[in-house]
Amino acid sequence: MFFKISLLLALAVCAAGLAHKIWSWLTISIDKDDCQYPPGRRLAATLSELGRAVFSGRLGAMLRALVLEGFLQMRSLGHSRTAWLAHVCIFIGFTGLLLFHALGAQLTATLFSGYYPTLDPWLLLRDLLGVMVLVGVGLIIYRRLTVQGLRRITSTTDRMAIVFITVVLLSGFALQALKITSATSFESMQKEYAGLSAPRELHALRSAWAEDYGVIFAPGQTSRDAEVLALGRKLSEDNCVDCHAPAQHAFASYALAAVMRPLALTLDGLQAPQILYYVHFLSCFIGLALLPFTKFLHMVSGPLLLMTNAAVDRKTMDPAARATLRALEMDACSHCGTCTVHCSVAVTVHRIHNQDILPSEKLSALATMVRGSNGDRNHLAQIREGAYTCTNCYRCTRLCPLGINLNDLWVALKRNLYHEGFGDPYQEVAQRSQKAAEQSRSSDTVHVVSGGFQHGLKLSAQAGTFSGCYSCRQCTNACPLVFMSERPNESLDLLPHQVMYSLGLGLKKEAMGARLVWNCLTCYQCQEACPNLVQVTDILYELRYLAAKAASGLEA
């Protein structure tokens, strides 16, 4: 009764959660432009896109994607065999357990006559599948601990998921192990199926089961006498064997039972099998109920996404359907970290200390943003830094095992940030610096800073080489910006030699705010032309970097 109620409850929560998720795929807008499509329009567009794909002969490609990319995870085989093996172990193990164990009575029994969970191959299969899942989980833990970058992003949710699967699996194995050793189970089964009453026969059957099946009885209840065992085995043959494969075939549980042997009697007395049974099925039900709200959702959203990707062309599809697809992508991420491990700029987090640079974390940030909780402006500034540190190399999109088009989402993220007042940081810093320079120019006093700032320009190969400038203007003559401009003095504020000279005078704001600095092409013609080895281009680079640094300091 309790089992049924809790199962129904879990199913209800799961169904409600999935319905909520599907609704969110039709309502959440990843890109600001997606807002214009109401849920009905999105649903219609999505269904018609899929319908068109199915009827134009793309069903084969969809099924292929489901099997090869979904079930067999061929996408991860190319970059990590460990990850691939882990997924395949867990997928096969988990699906097998669901079909042949959890749904054994409902599904397997109707498909295979003579199904009985304690008979082979089911008894053996159950342990085999369970061990596969455990091996998969072990591989995942190994990867999370050893792969560079993966450890850094492993979140509490990831750990909880691993702990959760382990609890389900271990409680199952322990339950099976305790059942093997349990005298109480033996007695109740015996009463129900054999119904022996003669003490001699009972003694014999117990002895045989203690010897052959590993049941642990209280001392004195069994014997190892050959004659007794022979009688017991005969009785077992008549009454039990039809429904019982040798307990040793549940190899993992039997091994566990052997380990627990000294405690078996005590545990049996404490009704441990009963307790474990509750732990096992309740943990499964909790998992079922939480599926739509955790990363386990990728079991549903992942295959959906992979099949949709195989069916439609993202570029030409109906934008309303694309809005749905993007929302689905947010829920497809399993936080496996593949994108982050291979990210071209992941190395910068050693120096910038901003986790939102990493694709997996940036995706989480985007997810919180579109769900309406923007957080404070500092957090938005942090997300922006992540968004703009990307080099658009598409590795994350190419490698995502679930086929999430991350680069498309990054474009949406930048647009969202722009709407929140967080545009391209380069432009912002440039404008800020130019404004400061303008103010400084328009005031009557000259703001000469001390040598501290000049000393700060030390990253270029030869610190402070600007002091070697004797204003010969070779740099200015070489500069393509000066060449392109009709009145360079007006459009660039300062010419290259003037920037160098300003630095010599300590005019920090004027130098940093010159439009020349912010429009520099970094073609190095000025630096090459300098007869006195002033590192002109490198210094212009450095001025921009110092302004960016000062600006990020203001935000933090």
Partner 1 sequence: MRFALFAGCQVPNFAPQYETSSRLVLKKLGIKLTKVEFNCCGYPLRHQHFNSYLLAAARNLALAEAKGLDILTLCKCCLGSLKRAQSFLAHNPDLMAAVKRELAEEGLAFNGTAQVKHLQTVLHQDVGLERLSDLVVRQMKGLRIATLYGCHALRPSRVTGFDNPYSPHLIDELLEVIGAESVPWAGKLKCCGAPLREKNEVLSLSIINQRFKEVGEAGADVLNVDCSHTLLQIKWAFKMLWPRSVELLKGVVLYPQLLGLAMGIAPEDLDLDENRPRAGFLSNYLAPRTPVSPEENSLVKRLSDHYI
Residues that bind partner 1 (CB under 8 A): 148, 342-348, 350-352, 388-389, 391-394, 398, 424-427, 430, 459, 461-462, 480-481, 484, 518-525, 527-528, 535, 537-538, 541-542, 544-545, 548-549
Buried b (16+ CB within 10 A) or exposed e, 19-31: eebbebbbbbbbb
Which residues, including other chains, have CB under 8 Å from residue 501's CB and lie 6 or more apart? 466, 469, 471
Instruction: Compare residues 191 and 549 and give the one whose CB is closer to partner 1.
Output: 549
Instruction: Compare residues 260 and 396 and give the one whose CB is closer to partner 1.
Output: 396
Buried b (16+ CB within 10 A) or exposed e, 395-429: bbbebbbbbbbbbbbbebbbebbeeeebbebeebb
Instruction: Compare residues 222 and 527 and give the one whose CB is closer to partner 1.
Output: 527
Which residues, including other chains, have CB under 8 Å from residue 142's CB and lie 6 or more apart? 82
Instruction: Compare residues 76 and 324 and give the one whose CB is closer to partner 1.
Output: 76
Q: Minimal distance in Å, beta carbon 507 to partner 1?
A: 21
Q: Minimal distance in Å, beta carbon 480 to partner 1?
A: 5
Which residues, including other chains, have CB under 8 Å from residue 175's CB and lie 6 or more apart? 273, 276, 277, 280
Q: Minimal distance in Å, beta carbon 533 to partner 1?
A: 9
Contact between residue 126 and residue 97 where contact means Cβ atoms under 8 Å apart: yes
Give the residue from 128, 213, 231, 224 showing the smallest Cα distance to 177: 213
Instruction: Compare residues 342 and 509 and give the one whose CB is closer to partner 1.
Output: 342
Instruction: Compare residues 218 and 347 and give the one whose CB is closer to partner 1.
Output: 347
Q: Minimal distance in Å, beta carbon 424 to partner 1?
A: 7
Q: Minimal distance in Å, beta carbon 529 to partner 1?
A: 9
Distance CA 175, CA 275 (A): 9
- Which contacts qualify for 223-228: CB closer than 8 Å, 24 or more apart? 228/203, 228/204
Q: Minimal distance in Å, beta carbon 521 to partner 1?
A: 5
**Cα within 13 Å of Cα(518), Cβ side:** 23
Instruction: Compare residues 174 and 529 and give the one whose CB is closer to partner 1.
Output: 529
Cα-based angle 77, 160, 152 (whole degrees, multiple of 5): 60
Give the residue from 397, 396, 386 showing the smallest Cα distance to 339: 396
Q: Minimal distance in Å, beta carbon 23 to partner 1?
A: 35
Instruction: Compare residues 164 and 541 and give the one whose CB is closer to partner 1.
Output: 541
Instruction: Compare residues 51 and 78 and give the one whose CB is closer to partner 1.
Output: 78
Contact between residue 285 and residue 10 where contact means Cβ atoms under 8 Å apart: yes
Q: Minimal distance in Å, beta carbon 486 to partner 1?
A: 12
Instruction: Compare residues 151 and 261 and give the one whose CB is closer to partner 1.
Output: 151
Tokens 């494969």, residue located: 245
Which residues, including other chains, have CB under 8 Å from residue 423's CB and lie 6 or more apart? 417
Give how far the C-alpha of residue 551 lies from the chain's centroid of Cα atoms, to the nearest Å.
32
Contact between residue 134 and residue 328 where contact means Cβ atoms under 8 Å apart: no
Q: Minimal distance in Å, beta carbon 523 to partner 1?
A: 4
**Alpha-carbon Rg of the chain, whole angstroms?**
34
Q: Minimal distance in Å, beta carbon 345 to partner 1?
A: 5
